[in-house]
Amino acid sequence: MASRRISGVISRSLSLRPLSSSIVSQGNRSSLVHRFTTAAALEEPITPSVRVHDTQLLINGKFVDSASGKTFPTLDPRTGEVIANVAEGDAEDIDRAVAAARKAFDEGPWPKMTAYERSRILLRFADLVDQHNDDLAALETWDNGKPYLQSAETEVPMFSRLFRYYAGWADKIHGLTVPADGPYHVQTLHEPIGVAGQIIPWNFPLLMFAWKVGPALATGNTIVLKTAEQTPLTALYAARLLHEAGLPPGVLNVVSGYGPTAGAALAGHMDVDKIAFTGSTDTGKIVHELAAKSNLKPATLELGGKSPFIVCEDADIDKAVEQAHFALFFNQGQCCCAGSRTFVHERVYDEFLEKAKARAQSRSVGDPFQKGIEQGPQIDSEQYEKILRYIKSGIESNATLECGGDKVGSKGYYIQPTVFSNVKDDMLIAQDEIFGPVQSILKFKELPEVIKRANTTRYGLAAGVFTQNIDVANTLSRALRAGTVWVNCFDVFDAAIPFGGYKMSGIGREKGVYSLNNYLQVKAVVTSLKNPAWL
């Protein structure tokens, strides 16, 4: 499959049909500049055509109310208004869901089913997703705020592609025959780990569903999935389609709720065999601690980032500007792997800065359901206010505000594309994960210097390198302490490419063959041989 471009993460938080630069920067930019105004966000928002059907918890194959009867609102980030009230799960509901998943694993057909049949169900599900592409895309944009074109032409097709990829792996998981000293037959078995607890973020709800659920199902596990409270709707819709495709009851359970209640109960549950989490590093620490203190369950953690984007003096500046813009501003800047530290060589710094500023000023901001819009609202008021505080911090620390720096409109959570120059490494905007449309541009002089500065961070999720010199590219790609290094590109994802971080960006890898290891146990079986013909 060709490489795809789209980012991912969670509490953010990661590809199928390419999100080409023509989509990223579509239209006559001069005609779109007006979108960068208060008027854009004050326009009457477009009413999505999709209807919200699924708002309850999914436990043991049935949609049910929460045990407490409580609900919480999921909001339209364009307006702050309520889309729907969703069942609020807590510890009691997690207990119910885990019990259903445990019974489905211990007694149900899924782990005992042939791998080929599991594959067929996942492929039927992918076909159903394609049939419901527009509804899923509309629901994702409505609940999250990302541009509809991004949802419909990239993320939902990528979602179905990921499930086809994992379906293809289902009947190709096998162990080895191992030679041993002495008269023994030794084989290894790769067995499903059991009940998997999974916690996904709000920035890419559908894709993170696929990254987690796909490999867990392909390897024969059962699941309790907790959605982000900001974006619960598409996971419930997708789970319904999975059951329509033939998934047995109890194999996938979906609980919507809050982190301190439902999330903590899942991470610390004694009958959950494995936990997977995508989100902030601080929350990841809590999840890891709960997993260890309960039954010492293994944890896969995909966490925060502060990725360097390095523009060398020989780079194609126009392409580098566009890619750096995409690396930071894509998905409203709400990407764990965003290229949020743009290092530019001093010889091309001024040219790059002027072009980066012009590109940001031309970025179209407004209702994500409108054609031609590149940037929708931030996810919610909390994230919105956090980003504005970081912008204020950048100004107060004497970075140069080149453009943006303010909200757009009086309704919803829109923020102007913002560019800072003269950024220093010790500033908060260069150290912390802002998770918003704020580009920080830093100057460097020599290769060893930028390597050291790029690696001086607690994170290590991703990095970008722009150069036409293969030796420089090789040096940087090996020297940078990051799980992914993109050379002359950024945010290229594929179902087969592993994704994860060094240092405090996480533990383990998602996607590709590596993701299967998260949901498998390895068992060695040793059988004594009597008078073997050979060893």
Do residues 402 and 353 touch, judged by C-beta distance below 8 A? Answer: yes
Tokens standing for residue 49: 């055509």
Q: From the candidates 155, 229, 302, 322, which is the catalytic residue? A: 302
Per-residue tokens: 202: 């709000």
Any residues with CB less than 8 A from the CB of 345 and at least 6 apart, and which?
311, 312, 313, 315, 443, 444, 445
Rounded CA separation 119/107 (Å): 20
Residue with tokens 């993109």: 486
Neighbour count for residue 379 (Cβ, 10 Å): 28
Quote the CA–CA distance of 437 and 384 in Å, as a whole number: 10
CB atoms near residue 446 (< 10 Å): 10
Whole-angstrom distance, CA of residue 273 vs CA of residue 291:
9
Long-range contacts of 420-429 (CB under 8 A, 24+ apart): 420/394, 421/353, 422/398, 423/394, 423/399, 424/397, 424/399, 425/453, 425/456, 427/393, 427/394, 427/397, 427/399, 428/390, 428/393, 428/394, 428/397, 429/390, 429/391, 429/393, 429/394, 429/397, 429/399
Give the separation between CA 535 and CA 529, rounded to whole angstroms.
Answer: 9
Q: Which residues contact 117 (CB under 8 A, 6 or more apart)?
A: none
Q: In this structure, what token pair is assigned to residue 290? A: 């709960």
Q: Residue 30 contacts by C-beta under 8 Å, 6 or more apart in sequence?
A: 362
Determine the Cα–Cα distance for residues 337 and 330; give it in Å rounded to an integer: 11
303: tokens are 């966490």
CA 152/CA 135 separation, integer angstroms: 9
How many residues does this entry show for the chain? 535
Residue 493 CB-half CA count within 13 A: 29
The answer to whether residue 44 is catalytic is: no
Q: Which of the residues are catalytic?
A: 302
